[in-house]
Structure formats: structure tokens, C-alpha cells
Amino acid sequence: MQSSRGTYGQVSDQPRPRKNRRIALLGASAVILLVVVVAIAIAVSHDHHSPDSSSSAPSTSVKSIQAICQPTDYKVTCENSLTSVAGSNTTNPNDLVKLAFQVTVDRIHDAANHSSVLQSLKHDPRTAQALENCNELMEYAVDDLKESIEKLGGFDLSKLDKLVEDLNVWLSASITYQETCLDGFENTTGDAGESMRKAMKTGMELSSNALAIVGGLSNILGDMNLSFLNRRLLSEEGSEFPSWVSLGRRRLLSADANGTDPDVVVAKDGTGQYETINDALAAVPKNGNKTFVVYIKEGVYKEYVQINRSMTNVMFIGDGPTKTKITGNKNFIDGTPTFKTATVAVVGDGFIAKDIGFENSAGPEKHQAVALRVQSDMSVFYNCQMDGYQDTLYAHTNRQFYRDCVISGTVDFIFGNSPVVFQNCKIVVRKPLDNQQNTITAQGRKDRREPTALILHNCTIVADPEYYPVRKKLPTYLGRPWKEYSRTFVMQSQIDDLVRPEGWQPWFGDFALNTCFYAEFDNRGPGAGVTGRVKWRGVKTISWEHAQKFTVEHFIQGTRWLPVTNVPYIPGLLPVSSYRPDDF
């Protein structure tokens, strides 16, 4: 069985645009760090001028750097990298903040340059593609950091409580892109992969450090008695909608396709402006704040579609998840890197799809074959269908919400490292190859501070009719840990008898069994009993209060951005059931 995720495809074929919302978020991250450094500078300055200070004491700059680096996992990397560029005379907090960002950018750029140098070491097509893709990923990872440096200052500190979780999401995405670069070297020949890993080591450590610093801000700022941190993070008044939400979007989501006034119409029979989806996407304005609606009429569209980074606030509306279908068959076995096998790839933020089907028809024998890949922040899929076998849905990065969708597959068919909630969805397990075992999820959390997880809430897990007769012979598991801190929750869901009593399957050996976080809460059905579950340290029993943290409202801040879309959602947990699955 192929257990690798394969390699990463090109993120976009267009230059990365500047985006005001994202600049604001990551610019604010610099301001948050500025507040921290100011606090540190005050404390350090007090120590430096106290009567007990000696001439041999560390300089103000060194002490400030040490304080900034205190919450990080890679303190030596943090301190050495900042000290090397700050020098002993740099005490201005603003300068230190800029240097903290810039040194991370520089190290990631060094890794990108190393990727170009390594082109001479490529030994096979997969290695060549992995090296090429790493260049794209490095640029993607540093763009926001560079823009945050340019946008230092000018932000209202009283509103930073609404941005802390956003910053964690974006920093997590940056870490994931770098990790995906390295994933691309699995199943390649030669030593290019190991050389790239060494080149990326410092950049990845600095990125992790940034996540640690932002993650510790609440405690640091709380000590400064800043009252705004006592309010719930990311709370937002009902009338205070994100700038990318338009009245048209709200109206469209509450209506059938025939009742909408789309910007463009796609129809295979020639009754629209375009006969292909890609032709229609050429009309999408770059970096638009207004929703751009693409109505795709009933039909099977055999094309590969990418909503690029510049295509923000795009909405696809079809005639139904089994009537309007986008299909392809690219796959890993035939030589395409896993990431590039996606029939549809969604990169631009604020994407919404309704009544659409996404398919990869390659079949189980072709192993990794993605139907839908998503890295669009605050994206929504409503009444959609994703069909494939291995790796059907790649929820790669950033906040995503799936409601009333059908997702089918075999091995790791819901995978990625997004903060994502699947609610009221039907998870259909298909018949795998005779030498395979089904795993529904493979979550890719690399750093323990990343705010990411796969959340299945009030879903139904069932066997496809073809698989049902052999479900005992070819077992199904809820998931397996793809990365060290893999995190998956199955809550208040119906689990049929196809799921093995053990529940969870190892990736290989004892990898991540102690560091993963897998939990089941208040589930029902003959497959929901937990007495036979594996006894890994990473398989947890959680309380109602703990489970509540992983709901739409708290985990993806859904009450902040979902109400205006008119997509139905359950903000928190349902009333706890008195049902006892182990009674079966």
C-alpha cells in the first residue's frame, strides 16, 4: 500500500498578488510582537539601570532577544539568528521586530536558492518535480512575512484580540507549506531530499519559533494588564462582517441556481457564455472583494481547474452534486505528484461551492489521486460531493467548513493540516484493493502549537454497497497519524459496523502513537463502541467542555464568518445523548 502523500504541485501559475486583508493580519502580528518587545524592553531597561547592574551583565539587546526567544522550542536558533543580525547596539524594539521577521525570510529564501542549486543532482522525474515545487512553496511561505515587515505600525492594538487566532492559522500554513516541500522527496532517488532537509532546517525552526511566540502572547500581554485580552478571542458583532462577504453571496446561498444572477454561466451545451470552467475563470477579476459567481449548469466537465491565489471570493454554484460534476483521473502511479493530481484545486481565499460534484476517477489501483485540494481560508462547501479512492479530499491549509456533503474513498481519503469542520456530512467508505485497509483520515499536524485538526461533527460513516459484503475482510479504521502531532475528533456521529473495534491504525511502527491526539465523543451506532479501542497514549477520553473547544464556534471561529453566508451550521455541541454504543 502506498502510504506516502507524494509530491507537491505548482501552487499557482501567476505571481503572488498583494492582499490587503492578509497584509493586515500579518502586519498586526508584527505589532503584537512589538508590544511584547516593548514590555521586554521596559523590564530590561529597568534591570539595566538598576543599582545592582554590573558591567559584565548582558547587554539590553541580548537580554531582549533572550526574552523574546524564551517560549520557543528552538531557543539557540532563535537567539543566534537574531543576535547575528541585531548586534550589541540594537535596542530599538521596532528594529528587533523587523529583524525577527527578516531573518526568517532570509533563511527560507536560502532554502529556495538551495533548491535551484540542487537541480544538478536530480536523478529521476519525481526528484526534478519535487525540487521545482519547493521553489514555489518557499516563495509562498515568505510572502506574508515580507509584507508584514512593510506594514509595521499603524494598527489599533485594541483590536488585536480578533487577530491572534488568524495569525496562528497563517503561521501554521507557512509551516505546512515547508513540510509539504519535504514530503515531495518521498519515493524519489538520490540524496537531494536529505540535502534539502538540511537546507530548510533553520527556516523551519524559525517558523516554529514564530508560532510559539504568537501562541504565548496572551500570557505576556495579560501580565501587562491589557484588558482587551479578557474578552473572547475573535468575537465579532453580528453586523460586523468580514470585508469579503457581499450581500450577493448571502442571497445566492439561500437560493437555487435558477434564481440567481451569476456573473458568468458555464454550459456544455452552449447555452452559457462559456463551455468550460477554465474559460470562465479567465473572467474573474484579480483580488476582488466582491463575490464573483460562476454558475455551472448540469453536465460532466472533464477538466482540471485551479482557483489561483488572485481569484478571491469566487463562488461555484451547480445544479446538484450529482448533476454538475468536475472530473479527472490524474494519479501518483502514472507519474503525477500527489498534489498535482487534484481535479480541482482551490487556493484563493473566501471560496464557496454549492451543489457541485468533484471527482477523481483513477480508481483504487492508482493509489494517490486527489479529487479536491483546498487551501482557501474561510472557505465553505455546501451540499457538495467529493468522490475518489485514496486521498480524495486534501484539506491542506487554512479554515474550512463542509456542510451536508458526501465524501467517498478508501485510504486516507480525508487528509491534510487544516483547521476544518465536517458537519452533517456522509462519509462513504468504498471497496479498496484486496491488499489494502481503509483509513478515513490522515491528519498532518507537524507542530504541537498548530491550531489544526480534522473534526467530524454529527456525520454518518457508512459502507458503500459494493464494499458492504467485504467490510469484515477488508477492515476500516477512523484514521492514522500522518505527522507527529496528528489530531482528529469524531463527535456526535453515527458510526456503522464497518469500523474495526480498535478504531485507529498506526502509520508505521510506534510513530506518533504517544504524540497524536485522537478522540471520540458522544457517538452512536454499532461501530461507536470505545471499549475495544487501541490503548495508545495519544487516544484520549475528553469531557464535554473539552469537546466544545473543537466546534464550529470555537475551533474555526465560525460564528464570525458563517452567519452571513446563510449556510446552516451548528455552532456548538448537540445535547449529549444518553445512547451507549458499547451496549451493542
d(CA 476, CA 503): 8
Q: Is 303 helix (H, G, I), strand (E, B) or coil?
A: coil
Enumerate the β-bridge partners of residue 338: none
Q: CB of 175 within 8 A of CB of 447?
A: yes
Pairing status of strand 419-423 against strand 357-360 = unpaired
Q: Is 149 helix (H, G, I), strand (E, B) or coil?
A: helix
191 catalytic residue (yes or no): no
d(CA 12, CA 201): 25
42: how many CB neighbours lie within 10 A of its CB? 12
CB neighbour list of residue 506: distance below 8 Å, 6 or more residues apart: 480, 481, 513
The catalytic position among 412, 496, 497, 522 is 412
10 Å CB burial of residue 372 (0-12, 13-18, 19+) is buried
Q: CB of 431 within 8 A of CB of 471?
A: no
Cell of 558: 465560525
d(CA 139, CA 105): 9
CB neighbour list of residue 547: distance below 8 Å, 6 or more residues apart: 489, 491, 519, 521, 522, 573
Q: CB of 475 within 8 A of CB of 467?
A: no
Residue that is written with C-alpha cell 484493493 in the block: 433
Cell of 511: 510513530
Please provide residue 428's backbone torsions phi and psi, each rounded to the nearest 5 degrees: -105, 115
Cell of 299: 453536465
Cell of 421: 469542520
Q: CB of 485 within 8 A of CB of 450?
A: yes
d(CA 210, CA 270): 51
Angle at 451 between CA 38 and CA 535, to 5 degrees: 130
Angle at 421 between CA 492 and CA 145, to 5 degrees: 150
Q: Is 292 helix (H, G, I), strand (E, B) or coil?
A: strand
Q: CB of 455 within 8 A of CB of 416?
A: no
The set of catalytic residues is: 412
